[in-house]
Amino acid sequence: MSSEFLQFLISGITVGAIYALVGLGFSIIYNASHVINFAQGEFVMLGGMGTVFIASAGVPLPVAMAGAVLLAVLIGIGLQKLAIERARDASVVTIIIITIGASIFLRGLAGIIWDRDFHSLPAFSGEQPIHVAGAVIVPQGLWILGVTMAVAVALFVFFNRTMIGKAMLGTAHNPLAAKLVGINTSNILILSFALAAALGAIGGILIAPMAPTHYQVGVMLGLKGFSAAIVGGLGSGPGAMVGGLLVGVTEAMAAGYISSNYKDVVAFVLILLVLFFMPAGLFGKRSSERV
């Protein structure tokens, strides 16, 4: 394995982990409500930009990060309560338009309240690169991988071992049956938006030291997170993780070996290919429309 290849692989896995976090958010909301939240990318932006601006007020960085995640969670809950819930019985197209509206609304607001410049966070633990078999890893890359893995394990435990997690899965499978056994499904919906917002914000904070954050950063990261969710199979947690890594690595390879100008095209070509040939994704269940 050439060191060049290894280098591309490492950078692919690093960004891929972020896409996976965003993709998980899509899947969680989709499971709970069958809504695709087009505003998911804005949570990523809120994480990064929120931390930058809360920290600029003199707050210590870790507190600022927690503050930004909290901010994203509150906005996620607000989105669910104020917009999605009111249009609960509307058509898919209607809900898509609402979440897109929410997305550009939040983006515009961030551009006004904060600013329209690029910002970076300091790396969590230094910039000294680590050499591995001719390739380099920056410490922030290890942070990204570590936190993403920790989040994945925590989610696994949450969904399989806790009552609330199981209630969320139950609601995803069959909302009516979940109600009948006494699950408060409307709280579950709120929880899933909160969780998705937190995941997006964490992704946004993790990547901010490596790629500068900006009020419009959510567009691309959101779309790539969506590719991750689709490639892995919408609604599948492990699918979103694998999908994220796959999108990240493919993108890094294309940028390295083909052309970095067309790097951003890769995710979409991948989405289109998967949608055309494998509409259920890698891990998704085949479904048929109910009439």
Partner 1 sequence: MKRSTVASRYGGVFVLAAIIAILPLFLANSFYFDVAINSGIAAIVCVGLNLLIGYAGQISLGHAGFFALGAYSSAILTDNYGWPPVASLIMGLLAVATLAFLIARPILRLRGHYLAMATLGMGIIISIVLNQEVNLTGGPDGMPVSAFSALGWEANSDLTWYWIVGGSLITTVWLALNLIDSAVGRALRAVHGSEVAAQVAGIDTTRYKILIFVVSGIMAAYAGSLFAHYTGFLTPSEAGFFRSIEFVTMVVLGGMASVFGSVIGAVILTALPQFLTVFHDYEHVMFGLIMMLTMIFMPKGLLPSLRNWINKRPL
- Residues in contact with partner 1 by CB under 8 A are 36, 38, 83, 86-87, 90-94, 96-98, 100-109, 111-112, 219, 223, 226, 230, 234, 261-262, 264-265, 267-269, 271-272, 275-276, 279, 289, 291
Min CB(61)–partner 1 separation in Å: 29
State which residue, 74 or 109, has the beta carbon closest to partner 1: 109
State which residue, 150 or 265, has the beta carbon closest to partner 1: 265
Residue found by looking up tokens 């890893």 in the block: 137
Beta bridge partners of 130: 137
Which residue type is seen at 73? V
Which residue type is seen at 19? Y
Give the number of other Cβ atoms within 10 Å of residue 239's Cβ: 25
Q: Name the nearest CA neighbour of 236 among 289, 181, 287.
A: 287
Min CB(91)–partner 1 separation in Å: 7
State which residue, 124 or 215, has the beta carbon closest to partner 1: 215
Min CB(111)–partner 1 separation in Å: 7
Please report, to the nearest 10 degrees, the dihedral formed by the alpha carbons of residues 160, 161, 162, 164 taken in order.
Answer: 10
Tokens of 259: 């052309």
Tokens of 129: 């690169």
State which residue, 103 or 192, has the beta carbon closest to partner 1: 103
Beta bridge partners of 119: 213
Min CB(224)–partner 1 separation in Å: 11
Residue found by looking up tokens 């991750």 in the block: 228
State which residue, 10 or 234, has the beta carbon closest to partner 1: 234
Give dist(CA 239, CA 223) in Å, integer. Answer: 16
Min CB(262)–partner 1 separation in Å: 7
